[in-house]
Structure 1
Amino acid sequence: MTEDRTTDRRGLFVSFEGGDGVGKSTQLALLGGWLAGTGREVVTTREPGGTPLGLRLRELVLHGEHMGPRAEALLYAADRAHHVDTVVRPALARGAVVLTDRYLDSSVAYQGDGRALGADEVERLSLWATEGLLPDLTVLLDLDPAVGLARLSGAPDRLESAGDDFHARTRRAFLDRAATGGDRWLVLDAAEPVEAVHAAVRARVAALVGAEGSSSAVPGPASSGSRA
């Protein structure tokens, strides 16, 4: 496995993962607002699309012409390499909290398992692209894919329209990674009320921020939906 080259990282890195329509953007925004209220610098971003280059790559992989699974995986890895190099690492180095809507676990689930490229190969590609950078916390919002997709509005993108079997495989891949991923993962039932989910996320992040010496982090109540 590629080693994380950052040895003086002072910030906190949190990723939000899960299928389409599970509420990642909502929970990211709620956590970002709460953290900003504690006086922390908060950087909110997403993959793909967290940089100007990423926006162009996002358009290609989600709304462009048909491409093979390997080309798709490589475009996601290129976006991630640039995103980490220009946004994530600089923010962490100055002590910010970085919140990202999707990170490398999405590639492992969607391209590794969903596209059947092999989870280990896609993970190695992403770790190489990021020089081993993993989040301090990954929040997995778990939901029946049929329920999540029904929440979406507008025309589906290339991944949203990939079919029921594809989305069942990606959900299983996320849950399998979380089951073996240790303390990095917090798995929550995305069918729970928004505020209950937010309280569980806030409680875990408050503990992490507090461990870094922040006196302003006050944990909220944990959601009964937590399975971490």
Structure 2
Amino acid sequence: MYFITFEGCDGSGKTTQVSLLTNHLQSRGLKCVTTKEPGGTPLAQEIRSLLLKSEIKDPITEFALLSAARRDHITNLIQPSLVQGITVICDRFFDSSLVYQGLKKGLDLDFMFDIHKKVVGALEPSLTFLLDLAPEIIIERLQRSANREINHYDAQPVSFHKSIREGFLLLAEKFSSRIVVINADQPIENIAKEIFEKFSMLTKT
């Protein structure tokens, strides 16, 4: 079983690629479950609604809520699925917290790693796909998207999305053995093919 995560700015195509990878693996007989953060369980979904309703300025408060949602998510969905041999594919995980509350809002990263280890445990993704996209394209996509969940991040200027992108790329350098950077400014089927190939390499190791 594998724990696969997708990261990137809003509008980078994570939801689409999560669905395509899931369908691809299921067509090959692999049991999969898809989920997202914050969310995935009733309690975590309630916390998600609170977090996305309006911005929580204090990064410690925000991270504490995310950590509570993440623990419930892992305890009641992710870990039980992995124990049963089911591959879990998750839209966002701890990397997003490191970028948004850590690198963007200034929360100490060592503090975040310590809390994460104590509250959530040692679970780490087998592989993370970072869908990388220029902030100008992100803004265009968000403005013309009619079906996505609207939140307070959508109204942020290009500079915000630029800093988020830079944060994810910094993490990709630090955790290069786990995080695979995918150019998201290409046809959907090309992105999916690249993801399929990278996942196949994981299963052969």
Q: CA deviation at 1:185?
A: 1.1
- Paired residues for 1:206-225 under 5 Å: 206-211=200-205
Which residue of 2 is the match for residue 101 of structure 1? 91
Which residue of 1 is the match for residue 30 of structure 2? 40
Which residue of 2 is the match for residue 30 of structure 1? 20
Listed one character per residue, the Cα deviations across residues 188-219 of structure 1 (whole Å, up to 9, x for unaligned) are 111011111111110111222344xxxxxxxx
Give the % identical residues.
Answer: 36
Q: CA deviation at 1:118?
A: 2.7
Change (3 A) 1:160 1:114: farther
Which residue of 2 is the match for residue 121 of structure 1? 111
Aligned pairs, number? 201
TM-score (norm. length: structure 2) = 0.91
Which residue of 2 is the match for residue 91 of structure 1? 81
Which residue of 2 is the match for residue 82 of structure 1? 72
AA of the residue aligned to 2:175: G
Which of 184, 196, 199 is 2:178 aligned to?
Answer: 184
Which of 159, 164, 183 is 1:165 aligned to?
Answer: 159
TM-score (norm. length: structure 1) = 0.82
Residues 12 and 132 of structure 2 are in contact (CA less than 8 Å); yes or no, is this contact kept in structure 1? yes
Change (3 A) 1:114 1:164: farther
Higher relative contact order (CA closer than 8 Å, sequence separation 6+): 2
SS of the aligned residue for 1:182 comes to coil
Q: CA deviation at 1:65?
A: 6.5
Structure with the higher fraction of residues in helix conformation:
2
Which of 193, 210, 217 is 2:187 aligned to?
Answer: 193
Aligned equivalents of 2:30, 2:177: Cα separation in 1? 23
Which residue of 2 is the match for residue 222 of structure 1? none
AA of the residue aligned to 1:187: V
Change (3 A) 1:116 1:163: farther
Change (3 A) 1:17 1:65: closer
SS of the aligned residue for 1:87 comes to helix
Structure 2 residue 73 is the aligned partner of structure 1 residue 73: no
Q: CA deviation at 1:110?
A: 0.6
Aligned equivalents of 2:162, 2:110: Cα separation in 1? 19
Listed one character per residue, the Cα deviations across residues 114-173 of structure 1 (whole Å, up to 9, x for unaligned) are 112133322332233220211000000001123113212368412333443332222111
SS of the aligned residue for 2:131 comes to strand
Change (3 A) 1:66 1:140: closer
Residues 139 and 158 of structure 2 are in contact (CA less than 8 Å); yes or no, is this contact kept in structure 1? no
Change (3 A) 1:122 1:161: farther
SS of the aligned residue for 2:182 comes to strand
Aligned equivalents of 1:12, 1:109: Cα separation in 2? 23
Aligned equivalents of 2:101, 2:191: Cα separation in 1? 27
